[in-house]
Amino acid sequence: MNLNAISIKNLLRRKGKAAFVLAGLVIGVSTVVGIISYVEAMTNDINHKLEKYGANILIVPKTENLALSYGGLSLGGVSFEMEEIRQKDLEQIGTIKNSANIAALGPLVLGVAPVGQQKVLMAGVDFQAARILKPWWKLQQGELPGADGIILGTEAARVLNLEVGSRLSINDNDMVVSGILQPTGSQDDQLAFTRLATAQLIFDKQGQVSMAEVAALCKDCPIEAMVKQISDALPGAKVMAIQQVVKSRMETLAQFKKFSYGVSSVILLIGSLVVLVTMMGSVRERTDEIGIFRAIGFRKRHVMKIIFTEAAIVSGLAGIIGYFLGFGATKAALALFSENHSGLVPFSIELAGGAVITALVVGLIASSYPAFMAARLDPNEALRAL
Amino acid sequence: MSYIVADKLVKKFGKGDAAVAAVADISFQIEEGDFVGIMGESGAGKSTILGILGAMNAPTSGTLTVDGIDIYNLGQEQRADFRREFLGFIFQSFHLVPYLTVIENVMLPLAVVKAGKKKKRQMAEEALDQVGLLEKARRLPNQISGGEKERVAIARSIVNEPPVLLADEPTGNLDTQTTREIMELLLRFNQEGMTIVMVTHSPACAGYAQRILRVTDGRLAEEDTKIRSIERWERNERKREPRLSQDQKLMTGSLPIG
């Protein structure tokens, strides 16, 4: 028989009350774990998408011309004089400090190609880099082009009335349509694509590129610093980060995080009040018993230890149950509402440890006043027998 | 110097003019191995005196020394240590912890004592053996009778072998036969050297004590020092039995109410 045995026996006797305290803390802890896991999953999801999808730094020649297009409507077409970047200069990008963060570099040569009575904007691209820069590209028909091949966006194929295998002549170069892209919902639907070298040959722009796309954005990439580094490396080019969407999503997520933590704090506070009220009730019910403990020579700290041990057992258990409940609930919620991203909620030993520690801290703090009250009980008053 | 010395003890409840003296200037001495009874009407201050002796109820003035220790000069926690090491308590209403078994209740004072599990269990078994309840060691308090509960309370009070036993109406809830058994048990402990101070209403129980302190309105009315007389107890019981029978007859209406 020791103090721990007294605590355990009391918990077993008052299962209902213990279960009530447990439930209060489990709800609090599981909600916090659920919210944190959900936010973590969302962050992972965004980072995953950012890493997976597309270019986010554009390198274009410095120009004195203003854009003559707005909202997809072009007033000036592409008839104005285009500046070019030397392809060799792009190699400088590999020397920047954060070059390791660059996933892909895609040079692009643009030119207007006459096809019958129509004109089409033709882009020469590096199809190897395009796999990373434009992962949403899917061929509806055909295959990637060879040296004399082109692929067409769906709109371009429709307007030009071309299909896979169609032959055409562009600036006296015989070309064959090797594939047609699935609709992308972007400007790519209206373009014809060929190999970079082929386009340079057709438009007589050997060693030059019209622009370049860089895929670099990942969660730890210092995008603005990278833009600066590339600008320094390519003084004749204008370097822009496409981060508006990313920033907005990150800001929304940050606001959601703040809101979630606020809600979690309130729930934890309510949980701690449940513990406080229940433990106070328990102490009042046990006045007689505590009086006996004090009368037979228990010190105040012995009484407090009994109360704290009970609180610690229930809180620790609540932390463990709360973590798994919150973890499971997040997985279930993501599976139900978010295109099966449940794999993005990994088991986190830090979060599990944090949940147990939070539950313990909340349980012990909420029990400190009842424990203090119990220890202060005057044995003579408590017993009213002597 | 006597083992227990109460000197000019005063205990007042309330403040100012409204203060009521439950104990008013009481002095007495108890020798080691004494068996002292404290008697008096309800509200006379008996339990307050016992509370003071039990290091649980600080007097408003006066001193209490036990074995040369000025008890109320000690801090609260030291008084708790004193209770654990020097005193055993027997309460009128048993005060057993309901979720602990008989043996666990007996082991309770040992819960904060540094000793091995085996040693504690052995001490508890010995105490239970002394009160004849070893075979019911694993039962819960609600599975034993009132007399047995009192025995468990006694076993708990002696498990750490305290030199002084304080008993507050130890037989108040018990029948005659059980009362006799309990008193004989206390007598045996006293004969083995334990100092016992017992509050009682019952003159029969008081008959086991060597000395009687009579308290009236918080004052020591008289001190009756006598030779313990079991014969007197038995004589009292013999007198009481016919009277009880008559009471019973009255209650059942077999005799006309005069």
CB contact under 8 A, A5 and B111: yes
- What is residue B224's predicted lDDT score, i.e. its pLDDT? 59
Q: Do A386 and B120 touch (CB under 8 A)?
A: no
CB contact at 8 A, B98 and B142: yes
Tokens of A217: 């954005």
Helices (DSSP H) in B65-101: which residue ranges?
76-86
Q: What is the pLDDT of residue A243?
A: 59
Instruction: With CB atoms and an 8 Å threshold, state whether A294 touches B80.
Output: yes
Tell me whether B257 touches chain A (CB under 8 Å): no
β-pair type (A173-181, A149-152): parallel
Q: Which amino acid is present at A302?
A: H
Residue A18 CA to residue A23 CA, distance in Å, equals 9
In this predicted structure, what is the pLDDT of residue A237?
A: 87
Residues B133-160 have pLDDT tens digits of 899 999 999 999 888 998 899 899 999 8
The mean pLDDT value for A357-382 works out to 88
Chain B nearest C-alpha distance from A371 (Å): 16
Confidence of residue A247 (pLDDT cuts 50, 70, 90): low
Closest Cα of chain B to A359: distance in Å?
Answer: 27
Nearest to B54 by CA among B91, B25, B29, B20: B91
Query: How high is the ipTM of this complex?
Result: 0.81
pLDDT, tens digit, 9 for 90 and up, residues B189-248: 899 889 999 998 888 888 889 889 988 888 887 665 554 444 454 545 544 444 333 333
Please name the residues in contact with A290: beta carbons below 8 A apart, sequence gap of 6 or more.
A283, A303, A374, A377, A382
**For strand B20-30 and strand A192-195, is the pairing parallel, antiparallel, or unpaired?**
unpaired
| Contact yes or no for B91 and A385 at CB 8 A | yes
The rounded Cα A168 to chain-centroid distance in angstroms is 46
B-contacting residues in A 296-315 (Cβ below 8 Å) = 296-300, 302
- Residue-wise pLDDT for B21-61, tens only, equals 888 889 999 999 999 999 988 888 888 899 999 998 899 99
- B77: contact with A, CB 8 A cutoff: yes
pLDDT tens digits along A264-281: 888 888 888 888 888 888
d(CA A84, CA A194): 18
Alpha-carbon distance of B247 to A385, in angstroms, equals 30
Contact B111 A13 (CB under 8 A): no
For residues A122 and A111, is the Cβ–Cβ distance under 8 A? yes
Alpha carbon separation from A39 to A232, A345, A349, B218 (Å, rounded): 37, 10, 17, 71
Of residues B81, B117, B120, nearest to A297 (C-beta): B81
Residue B46's closest chain A neighbor by CA?
A386
- Could you tell me if B120 lies within 8 Å of chain A, comparing CB atoms? yes
Q: Compare all CA atoms of chain B with the CA of A10 and give the residue at the minimum distance.
A: B99
B162 in contact with chain A, both atoms CB, cutoff 8 A: no
Candidates A10, A292, A300; nearest CB to B77: A300
How many residues are present in chain A? 386
pTM of the model: 0.67
- Torsional class of B67: left (φ above 0), alpha (ψ -120 to 50), beta (otherwise): left
Strand order in the sheet with B4-13: B20-30, B4-13, B61-66, B69-70
Which range has the worst mean pLDDT, A150-154, A294-298, A301-305, B236-240? B236-240
One-letter identity of residue A222 = P
CA distance A379 to A189: 86
Residue with the larger pLDDT of the pair A21 and A321: A321
Q: What is the pLDDT of residues A149-193, one digit of tens each?
A: 999 999 999 998 889 999 988 888 889 999 999 998 888 889 999
Q: Are strands B20-30 and B4-13 parallel, antiparallel or unpaired?
A: antiparallel
Residue A217 has pLDDT above 90, yes or no: no
Please report, as a single letter, which amino acid is at residue A106.
G
